[in-house]
Chains A and B, each alone.
Chain A
Amino acid sequence: MRRISYFVRQAIINIRNNRLVHFIGLSTMVISILILGAFALLYVNVYGWLQNWGGSMRVSVYLRDGLSKGEVAQIEDFIKQQLEIESCRYVSKAMALEDLKQALGPQSKLLSALSTNPLPASFELEVKGLGDPQKQLTRLQEKLEKLPGVEEVQYSQVWIERFKGLLDLVKIIGLVVGGLLAMGALFIVTNTIKLTIYSRKEEIEILKLVGATDWFVKMPFLIEGMIQGVFSAAVALVILFGGYILFSVKKTTFLSLAVLKIQFIPFPYVVAILGLSLVVGVLGSLIAVGRFFEVAKD
């Protein structure tokens, strides 16, 4: 325990003595983590929006003509038993025709030429999002289409696929950019620590001469990298949160996205970013001290 306090003290002294180097390293790391955080924020929100839209998505269940009331009621019961159904509204053939007339407006006269009502009766459903909207709706469609008396089940599949594609793209870009940024951050930490090691070269030599083990010499540098990683992540997350607050306040003026609720990255993501930064910090220091001690041995 007393050793840890010595190592932490030494790490803080190192940081203080190499303020400028650390400031530059820290700033670059903050920017990297900020970009990564922004991607996480984008991903989380697009995913959230997609789920919400999936939830309010309308599904039309078209019925065969000539079903008895009992058969219609049976279908309605079955639909209402499904977990994801938020609301279910029966639209009779007459109501469907009325809706169409209203939708056509002045052109509705065209419909008066029809001798029979060609429109089917239907159930208009609103579906709650429970996981992947695409899979959920396909499953629901398959289930409902098997029912006797159901002609067809329709939902707008195309936009969901497009958004899923967009989400996948955001995820891939996020992972690629994140990976590159993590490597960049690793490089930054390695070089920052290397510079502080060189500035303490004389001290390391003396420490070794008075009997310090390699780990005794290395530990303060590892803690230094750890501090740099975690502190950079903390600063980046605070900036990201500040940006999020500003953006949330101004959302009403932001194009048509105003209706969208923006959420901050969830806690597990925050922990993951802090953890990743810590790992990058320690790994960068390990590489730097490893290289230094290899050279020192020669």
Chain B
Amino acid sequence: MIRMFHVRKTFGGNVALRDINLHIKKGEFAFVTGPSGAGKTTLLRLIFGAERPTSGHILIDGINLSRISRKRLDLLRRRIGFVFQDFKLLPHKTVFDNVALSLEVMGERQTFIRKRTHQTLRSLGLAKKETAYPLQLSGGEQQRVAIARAIVKNPVLLLADEPTGNLDPDLTKEIMLLFRTIHMKGTTVVIATHSRELLDRTAQRKIVLYRGEIVGEEE
């Protein structure tokens, strides 16, 4: 699903990632970990096509991101769900509209959009919050809305950047359960986290980044 060959990314004079070689298989569940500033977010943004590598190549489901056109990248993003660290919810849109947005851009029928959005929100325990606005929700609820928006389109790849960063242990457990459920349905899941607690409790693959380099892997 994801292949990275000698990927390097610099911002001005700062090296964010250096010589990254990585292979994440289809249907895999992997964590990217490391201390703050290790390059976790940059790695996810590169996989998502939000950043272009300074050098090296990235293949997502066989598509080379270095050579992809803007339009094809837009289409590829429709198959990738991204849960942002800061949720990136639109404050003046309701929970329902925030989630439906992912399907609107794909040009789906309104009846399908309504059905699928209701279904997804129900599965995440947000049925009663459909008409609420993001700022009326708790942190955990906002996080679930962000996840709902990422999974409503049945992505082949789900990326999540510190999805449990501001949550208490109970909510963290709940959110992780959600990711596992999504993974069970066949979606490749990559989660960036620096939470030791979260990693200790899981048996999944862990990719350790330190100062922009992969310094270790645990299965």
Contact = CB atoms under 8 A, between A and B. Distances in A.
A111 interface: no
A212 B101 CA distance: 9
Contacts of B71: 213-214
Contacts of A216: 105
A207 B82 contact: no
B90 interface: yes
Nearest to B92: A17
A6 B101 CA distance: 11
Interface string A203-227: 1011111111110100000000000
A139 interface: no
A29 to B, nearest CB: 27
Interface in A171-213: 202-203, 205-213
B74 interface: yes
A206 B77 contact: no
Contact of A208 (B74, B75, B102): B74
Given A202-B90, A206-B101, A211 B106 contact: yes
Give the most central of A205, A206, A214: most B CB within 10 Å.
A206
A203 B84 CA distance: 14
Contacts of A213: 71, 74-75, 105
Interface string A1-39: 011001000000000010000000000000000000000
A209 B70 contact: no
Interface residues of A, number: 17
B156 to A, nearest CB: 13
Contacts of B137: none
B23 interface: no
Contacts of A3: 107
A260 B70 CA distance: 63
B114 interface: no
Interface residues on B, range: 20 to 34
Contacts of B50: 209
A203 B93 CA distance: 10
B107 A211 contact: no
Interface in B61-113: 70-71, 74-78, 80, 82, 84, 88, 90, 92, 101-102, 104-107, 109-110
Instruction: Tell me what chain A mostly uses at the interface: helix, strand, loop, or mixed.
Output: helix
B206 interface: no
B110 to A, nearest CB: 6
B88 A209 contact: yes
A195 B22 CA distance: 43
Contacts of B101: 206-207, 210
Nearest to B109: A2
B9 interface: no
Contacts of B77: 209-211
Give the most central of B50, B82, B105, B107: most A CB within 10 Å.
B105
Contacts of A202: 90
Given A2-B107, A3-B107, A206-B101, A211 B88 contact: no
Interface in B25-60: 48, 50
B176 to A, nearest CB: 23
A213 to B, nearest CB: 5
A207 B105 contact: yes
Nearest to B82: A209
B90 A214 contact: no
A2 B110 CA distance: 8
B3 interface: no
B185 to A, nearest CB: 20
Contacts of B70: 214
Interface of B: 48, 50, 70-71, 74-78, 80, 82, 84, 88, 90, 92, 101-102, 104-107, 109-110, 149
Given A2-B107, A3-B107, 5 more contacts: A205-B88, A206-B88, A210-B105, A211-B76, A211-B105
The 4 closest A-B pairs by CB, nearest first: A211-B78, A211-B77, A212-B105, A213-B74
Interface of A: 2-3, 6, 17, 202-203, 205-214, 216
